[in-house]
Amino acid sequence: MEPPAAAAAAPSSAADLDLRNISFLLSNILLPPDGVTVPGVLEFLKWREGGEFLRRIGGIWGEVRPWAVAPALRVAVAVCLAMSVMLLVEVVSMAAVSLAVKLLRRSPERRYRCEPIAAGDDPEAASLAFPMVLVQIPMYNEREVYKLSIGSACALSWPSDRIIIQVLDDSTDPTVKDMVEVECRLWANKGININYEVRENRRGYKAGALKEGMEHSYVQQCDFVAIFDSDFQPEPDFLMRTVPFMVHNSKIALVQARWQFVNFRDCLMTRIQKMTLDYHFKVEQEAGSSTFAFFGFNGTAGVWRISAINEVGGWKDRTTVEDMDLAVRASLKGWKLLYVGDLEVKSELPSTLKAYRHQQHRWTCGAAHLFRKIIVEISTAKEVSFWKKCYLIYSFFFVRKIVAHVVTFFLYCIVIPTSVLVPEVIIPTWGVVYIPTTITLLNAIRNPSSIHLMPFWILFENVMSMHRMKATVIGLFEAGSVNEWVVTEKLGDTLLEKTKIPILEKPSSRLRERIYLPEIGFAVFLFLCACYNLAYGKNSFYVYIYLQAVAFLVVGLGYVGCFISNT
């Protein structure tokens, strides 16, 4: 056989191959569909360097693909489509309930009695009509925001002799501890009943701090406890709008307010977070509160009935979602949880990718871990109905905390890209287009002002699904980092005092802290799949896969979030 023209010059190494032949070679390894030929590449290799090895690889792939790879991929497609339908039904049902509540004007004020507390005409006895309220502020090395939360708590409108502020400081930085203690003394000198509490260790993290805070003698006189994380700033009328619900309705254990974000305009990542959390509050929390009087406590911006906390066993540190744990146990004892959507509390979103990843790991892993630990307790509970048990196990935990993360990663990041390499497997259009489009539109309806960001939201959420999927598996199987607790970094007024550069996160001097290799590796995989689909595929999946590859690469290189300049 005569050598191909490309080899006429007899190159001294494979590096002399032109780019076209290299791309053909890579494609041939994956064996393109029947009828597609690769001109001259294998003949060239056989003539020059014994390319029979690559031909054999292609042959093996062609033999194995139909009877081994294709059946396994068909099973994966079927499972993912089934989970997609489950998720779609859940999203549609929640959206319907949320819409019905809005159209029928079934606000909390219409469902529950909430008249203002009658103080009477006697000024001396007026404050006695108000119950004693404890305000807990757990914090850990919160240099940037400690003044915000303490100042807001001390400014709450409530009789001064009927409120106790408790700052639970787990800080390990001596300078920060001194600063927080000084701030508490300043407010105490102004006549505020504020207590600065520290403990010898951080056992149990936030749950441990809240539990020990409840053990102080002065807490025994309190009826309710309001909890605010260190970056939360409640309005002065917060207690006036929440406590009456509990005073007039003895079965309500919790009143939860909605989060408002002061820094969502900082960068694209914070805008995407706002879209996700707005949906969580406007749809998930509203639907749960309106149907089964249950939802997951968000850990802050809420008021608990202390007797309910004590009845269900208090705070437990068995998972990293102690707030959800307490809410589930209270619901199993017959207590009702109320979400008040028109009551907002200012808070801060994570502005750096590192902080956001830690937060998402804690939330996702903790929920899956709690599901593993509490499913038997839910199944055997006697104080709740069968339908509420089904709601807790199937809808709240299985679909939202497990299926949602699994199907997002496997279907959209693995199964669809892999299917372009296996032409024997065809994914139906309704599973690839109609279901995700419907879910996206239902999310967009509750975020009309951010509808133009939906493409970025989709791509970023798919990238984060790999991180959440890993956290879900760790939680379900109690793997190594199941109890990892990294406090979310808050910047407070740092963004105002220093130069802020959106989009790019501050590059680290250490390569392993700046680069996320799993995301980069996945970007390469998606890029190869997209190239193969563009060259040989019979569909247009490459459009989506290329975009998703770019999203993985951008996140993998750390170009997400905010960079705070020190200059």
**Residue that is written with structure tokens 């801060």 in the block:** 348
Q: Active-site positions?
A: 170, 323
The percent of the chain in helix, strand and coil, each rounded to the nearest 5, is 60, 10, 30
Contacts of 291 (CB under 8 A, 6+ apart): 97, 391
The set of residues, in sequence order, having a beta carbon less than 8 Å from that of 172 and lying 6+ positions away, is 140, 141, 202
Check: CB of residue 135 under 8 Å from CB of residue 160.
no
Contacts of 190 (CB under 8 A, 6+ apart): 154
Nearest Cα to Cα of residue 243 among 181, 172, 156 = 156
Taking alpha carbons only, the member of 371, 303, 312 closest to residue 338 is: 303
Helix (H), strand (E), coil (C) string for 113-177: CCCCCCCCCCHHHHHHHCCCEEEEEEECCCCCCHHHHHHHHHCCCCCHHHEEEEEEECCCCHHHH
Q: What amino acid is encoded at 517 in this protein?
A: L
Q: How far apart are CA 473 and CA 405, in angstroms?
A: 10
Coil, helix or strand for 207? helix
Burial of 67 (0-12, 13-18, 19+ CB in 10 A): exposed
